[in-house]
Structure 1
Amino acid sequence: MTEPEVALHLTLAPTADAITVTARFGGLDGSAGRPFLQVPRIIASVSGQDYRAEDVIARDERGELRLTEGTSDPEDVGALFSARTFIPARDTVGDVTLTYRAAIVPAFSPRRPGPSFDLRGIDGGFAGTFSTFLILPADLSVRLRLAVVWAFEDGEARGFTTRGADDFTADLTVPELLMTFLIAGPVRTLPEKAGTAPFNAYWIGEPPFAVEDAMAWCTRAHEALTAFFRAPSPAPYHFMLRPHPNRRDGGAATNDGFMLEYGSGPHTEAARRYMFLHEMVHHFVGTLDGPPGSTSWYSEGLAEHYKIKIAAEAKLLDRDAHEAEVRTMTHAYYTSPRLGLPYAEVPGRYWSDSHVQGIAYNRGFMYFADLDALIRERSGGSRSLDDLVLAMVEDRRAGRPYDEALWRAKLRAELGEAGITHFERMLAGDVIVPPDEAFGADLTRVRRRTEVRRLGFTDRSLTNPPLVIAGLDPAGPAAAAGLREGDAVIAFHGAEPSVLHSTEALVLEPEVTIVVAREGGPEPITFATRAGGVPEHVWERREVERR
């Protein structure tokens, strides 16, 4: 069936704190009383613009078009997405033009965990995605003949997106436009005339690292990834950077680029560059079709696997960095309190518990390391995980269904039912112990018992403003000390935000004090975080290699 086609002419007029959007739709017909347009209210935990019907001026060939609000909460995406819809009071006639104002949030205002989709700005520049502010057709199957025009007050300002630089045209589906990143204003760039080079960088604010050096490294990394994944005639890649208030760097990837939110924490150069590689891998392997979060083990696990593999093979980082990153990843996996959680429970809890979110990354990483070793063993070394992944990527480029069913078919063809059983065990939460040389011939596996610390409630209670205790273990030390589910947190001590990715969101002291609001005033509650030991497998450099 042919997708309906709509012409969309967008004029974006930014100021220091907002974008005035004028959108003219041609060929988009609305019926009285039925959802016509929509904007996300929540997308992967990030809030969209809180437009009301009176905030949107709508006109068509008959004149003023009155809109009312509705909501749309598709059953197949759970809590990860909901939309605000707009319903016309009468049938539309001809072209429909909307005018509305999207607010730009100051970059250092409080930041909830989640992808960097919202509009945030600093010093006259801003960045985000179209998903959190653009009002688009409620019918997501619509294809858009898009024209974007920037209208800056400052003649020196420029606008860039992962679809084009300055004014541009494109032919996109609604979801493709939603997941387009933009950065605009007094933007600094590499190269100077960025936009069409194989690798382009754009940033606002003052990154706490040498951007020129980092982007030169990323250019090499992008070349290595392009070669490994055999990308034909690669399109320009766009790396955008903006600041945020958290210590840990954040970000989100899309086709053709990603947004880095650089934090204030003391990251090592290697840790930051592994993150860059992780995000760039997403461009090449993509995301399996399916409800959000249900197949993140694939996209996030492969990004973790190939960031380490490509960095080693292309000599982008040294062996010490390799060993340290493997240890970080494996430690996060074996010490996670959600180690055995069935993957079916992940999507509904993905953005409420960082330990659940980490499953896609750490368990996915371990699964692919173990699968790679299994394929090498069964084939006598003639085949590897690379063969399956490159075949998957070819199917994606050919436009074939790219989903879990395809992955299962590749596994079955490669390993028979043993491959399916291996996959099902990962989904079920069985502990994964890759073989001795799974992470390189110079690393060997050692089994230890590791002491761990636990809060006894979700760590997002202390990272997601407003701070409220949630997920309290009624049998844990925190509850025994007097903490209650739903307590409002005024302050806390003994729990510091972590800067490392793929690790706990908080670094805990042996004791943590939470100051909560009670009827008699602020009440401090102190409890122990020691939770005993857990078995852990550690990959270390062989002693012979250290001499």
Structure 2
Amino acid sequence: MSEENKQHLKLTVVLKPEWNTDRVDRMNVTVRADIRAAAGEELFYIQSETVTIPFCKMEDLQISDAQGEITFDTVQREQYPVKLTGYTAKRQTQGEVQIAYAVYPREVTKDQRYGPYFDFRSEEGGANGAGVTFLPMLPEGQYDITLDWDLTGMPEGSGGVWSFGEGKQLRTDSSSTLVYSYYAVGLLHSCTDNEFGFYWFGRPSFPIAEAAGRVKKMFAAMAEFFGDKDTAYRVFARKDPFEQSGGTALTRSFMFGYNDTLPPTVESLQNLLAHEMVHNWPHMNDEPYGSTTWYTEGTAEYYSVMLPYRNRIVSLEDTLRQIQKRTDQYYTNPTNRLSNSEAAKQYWTDRRTQRLAYGRGFFFLANVDAKVRRATGGDKSLDDVVKPLTGRYMADGSGNNEDFISMVREVGGIDIRKEFEAMEQGCLPVPDPDSFDGLFDRDEIETAYADTGESAVSYRWRMRERKKDEA
């Protein structure tokens, strides 16, 4: 199919949840789209598994067009860390294609551990999740999308919300935007302001309204920093049955989990949500897989710590605590000498390796910031490297490690290739004394690796004397 024929095709999605006692226990999905496929060509695919999170249990799949039923074959393939199931037509399609099926929310127990919040999951009051676990991925191209909810049979007061708005939404975009965004439906509670929204079910065991206000302020500051004039942003909360909770960012939104055994504080939520929020902006092409995770996670860590302080949302003392926490986690991680490529192979089998990119990128970027500031007499910083790379990625999806090295050279007049290659191979960085805006000093200390107890070197941070009066 040519690019010209792909432009502005029609795509309608209707989601019809079913209510049982106090929650959603099934959802009917109807997709109608201008899909043109010859016999043997793929109509669509689903991500049957996304970094260990399965697609919902699906029933009653029917595919049809103007001529009636379209029979199909399925083809399995894998693009690590994703497993795909493709659906190929046994005959040529005629006109609009309809894909209809039902999905069931994923069931989780208290014995499970936190994974990326992609799964469509039910709880008392409703259900929420990412489209990647219950919606198909259609052929590439721009679609005039209509997303609507059929809430007949749901309790009075129920509503449906997508990352891009409440109720029926019209948007021109790719089908991947539908897949990589969040949805929530049921007896929703919310804190909203224009295109900013914070949504939850029931009565969380922490001051969620206060947390929503803090997050709103943070988003405004971060959007201004990255030059983003789009005010649309939505946060979704879910209750976990297990103790280890976390968060996951998708398009213009993120979802976080909480539990009653270890309820979060406003401060801990702020730190979690700040990281996920930054993921809306700095990115690079991650081919091969894991090659630029240090940058994606490192920038999220760096700016989630530094931007709240610079905007006086948090104190200097809290910033110090956050830096120390990351120091302790990274330098005592027994897998911290794995190379980036070695760590990527183990991301979803050894959870310790998942955190490597966070700490590695955090301290490498902090060191680059200090080097650029010294080289330019304080006129330039890491910000002047990251912002243009972010603009480039947002414009055309480009950007890689070589672009980062080149941008540092252009902005700061320095060559960091040797430092970059050392980081890439797993060499532990020594924190630059002028990193983190020169607010702190650090001392080398002897400690032990977690799990193994073997000797390790880490650092203890303290405020510089001249900065103690700033908070």
TM-score (norm 1): 0.79
Q: Is this contact kept in 2: 1:199–1:222, CA < 8 A?
A: no
Deviation for aligned residue 1:400: 6.0
Question: Equivalents in 1 of 2:456, 2:127: separation in Å?
Answer: 45
Write out per-residue CA displacement over residues 457-487 of structure 1, whole angstroms, 9 at most, x where no aligned residue.
Answer: xxxxxxxxxxxxxxxxxxxxxxxxxxxxxxx
Question: Equivalents in 2 of 1:435, 1:124: separation in Å?
Answer: 49
Structure 1 residue 84 corresponds to structure 2 residue 85: yes
Q: Is this contact kept in 1: 2:136–2:179, CA < 8 A?
A: no
Q: What is residue 232 of structure 2 aligned with on the other side?
A: 236
Question: Equivalents in 2 of 1:116, 1:144: separation in Å?
Answer: 26
Deviation for aligned residue 1:276: 1.4
The one-letter code matched in structure 1 to 2:204 is P
Distance 1:545 1:395, change over 3 A: closer
Write out per-residue CA displacement over residues 349-371 of structure 1, whole angstroms, 9 at most, x where no aligned residue.
Answer: 21221221111111110111111
Structure 1 residue 151 corresponds to structure 2 residue 150: yes
Structure 1 residue 261 corresponds to structure 2 residue 257: yes
Match of 1:422 among 419, 423, 426: 419
Question: Equivalents in 1 of 2:430, 2:98: separation in Å?
Answer: 58
Deviation for aligned residue 1:428: 1.3
State the secondary structure of the residue aligned to 1:56: strand
The one-letter code matched in structure 1 to 2:238 is R
Question: Equivalents in 1 of 2:64, 2:285: separation in Å?
Answer: 39
Structure 1 residue 20 corresponds to structure 2 residue 25: no
Deviation for aligned residue 1:445: 1.0
Q: Is this contact kept in 2: 1:253–1:280, CA < 8 A?
A: yes
Match of 1:345 among 342, 345, 350: 342
State the secondary structure of the residue aligned to 1:216: helix
Deviation for aligned residue 1:262: 1.6
Question: Equivalents in 2 of 1:408, 1:267: separation in Å?
Answer: 38
The one-letter code matched in structure 1 to 2:69 is E
The one-letter code matched in structure 1 to 2:458 is E
Question: Equivalents in 2 of 1:94, 1:228: separation in Å?
Answer: 46
Structure 1 residue 182 corresponds to structure 2 residue 104: no
Distance 1:111 1:31, change over 3 A: farther
Write out per-residue CA displacement over residues 382-414 of structure 1, whole angstroms, 9 at most, x where no aligned residue.
Answer: 111011111212223433623334323312323
Which stretch of structure 1 is more off in the superposition, 177-186 or 431-440? 431-440
Structure 1 residue 200 corresponds to structure 2 residue 197: yes
The one-letter code matched in structure 2 to 1:222 is F
Write out per-residue CA displacement over residues 419-478 of structure 1, whole angstroms, 9 at most, x where no aligned residue.
Answer: 222222211111111222323545211111113341xxxxxxxxxxxxxxxxxxxxxxxx
Deviation for aligned residue 1:540: 2.1
Structure 1 residue 249 corresponds to structure 2 residue 249: no
Q: What is residue 100 of structure 2 aligned with on the other side?
A: 99
Question: Equivalents in 2 of 1:86, 1:442: separation in Å?
Answer: 56
Q: What is residue 275 of structure 2 aligned with on the other side?
A: 278
Deviation for aligned residue 1:248: 2.9
Distance 1:266 1:212, change over 3 A: closer
Question: Equivalents in 1 of 2:63, 2:113: separation in Å?
Answer: 32
Q: What is residue 21 of structure 2 aligned with on the other side?
A: none
Which stretch of structure 1 is more off in the superposition, 361-370 or 116-125? 116-125
The one-letter code matched in structure 1 to 2:184 is I
Q: Is this contact kept in 2: 1:159–1:183, CA < 8 A?
A: yes
Distance 1:128 1:273, change over 3 A: same
Distance 1:376 1:542, change over 3 A: closer
Q: What is residue 501 of structure 1 aligned with on the other side?
A: none
The one-letter code matched in structure 2 to 1:182 is Y
The one-letter code matched in structure 1 to 2:32 is R
Which stretch of structure 1 is more off in the superposition, 364-373 or 241-250? 241-250
TM-score (norm 2): 0.91
Question: Equivalents in 2 of 1:21, 1:70: separation in Å?
Answer: 22
Q: Is this contact kept in 2: 1:107–1:121, CA < 8 A?
A: no
Q: What is residue 294 of structure 1 aligned with on the other side?
A: 291
The one-letter code matched in structure 2 to 1:259 is M
Q: Is this contact kept in 2: 1:443–1:539, CA < 8 A?
A: yes
Deviation for aligned residue 1:108: 5.2
Distance 1:366 1:38, change over 3 A: same
Structure 1 residue 431 corresponds to structure 2 residue 428: yes
Match of 2:11 among 8, 16, 22: 8
Long gaps (5+) in structure 1:
455-529
Which stretch of structure 1 is more off in the superposition, 144-153 or 402-411? 402-411
State the secondary structure of the residue aligned to 1:212: helix
Deviation for aligned residue 1:268: 4.4
Question: Equivalents in 2 of 1:377, 1:270: separation in Å?
Answer: 33
Q: What is residue 173 of structure 2 aligned with on the other side?
A: 172
Q: What is residue 472 of structure 1 aligned with on the other side?
A: none
The one-letter code matched in structure 1 to 2:29 is V
Structure 1 residue 142 corresponds to structure 2 residue 145: no
Q: Is this contact kept in 1: 2:162–2:184, CA < 8 A?
A: yes
RMSD of aligned residue pairs (Cα, Å)? 2.3
Write out per-residue CA displacement over residues 127-180 of structure 1, whole angstroms, 9 at most, x where no aligned residue.
Answer: 11111111232x3x2332211120012242111111222011111213222101
Question: Equivalents in 2 of 1:275, 1:335: separation in Å?
Answer: 21
Distance 1:291 1:44, change over 3 A: farther
Q: Is this contact kept in 2: 1:255–1:286, CA < 8 A?
A: no
**1:148-547 correspondence to structure 2 within 5 Å:** 148-152=147-151, 153-154=153-154, 155-191=156-192, 197-231=194-228, 233-263=229-259, 264-288=261-285, 290-399=287-396, 401-415=398-412, 418-454=415-451, 531-542=453-464
Q: Is this contact kept in 1: 2:247–2:272, CA < 8 A?
A: no
Which stretch of structure 1 is more off in the superposition, 420-429 or 291-300? 291-300
Deviation for aligned residue 1:531: 2.2
State the secondary structure of the residue aligned to 2:166: coil
The one-letter code matched in structure 2 to 1:22 is T
Q: What is residue 69 of structure 2 aligned with on the other side?
A: 64
State the secondary structure of the residue aligned to 1:418: coil
Q: What is residue 43 of structure 1 aligned with on the other side?
A: 50
The one-letter code matched in structure 1 to 2:222 is L
Q: Is this contact kept in 2: 1:411–1:420, CA < 8 A?
A: no
Question: Equivalents in 1 of 2:415, 2:134: separation in Å?
Answer: 47
Q: Is this contact kept in 1: 2:113–2:244, CA < 8 A?
A: no
Question: Equivalents in 1 of 2:202, 2:294: separation in Å?
Answer: 33
Distance 1:339 1:62, change over 3 A: same
Deviation for aligned residue 1:282: 1.2
Q: Is this contact kept in 1: 2:284–2:397, CA < 8 A?
A: no
Question: Equivalents in 2 of 1:119, 1:431: separation in Å?
Answer: 39
Which stretch of structure 1 is more off in the superposition, 102-111 or 219-228? 102-111
Question: Equivalents in 2 of 1:120, 1:87: separation in Å?
Answer: 29
State the secondary structure of the residue aligned to 2:369: helix
The one-letter code matched in structure 1 to 2:419 is H
Question: Equivalents in 1 of 2:431, 2:450: separation in Å?
Answer: 25
Q: Is this contact kept in 1: 2:247–2:273, CA < 8 A?
A: no
Question: Equivalents in 2 of 1:144, 1:403: separation in Å?
Answer: 29
Distance 1:367 1:277, change over 3 A: same
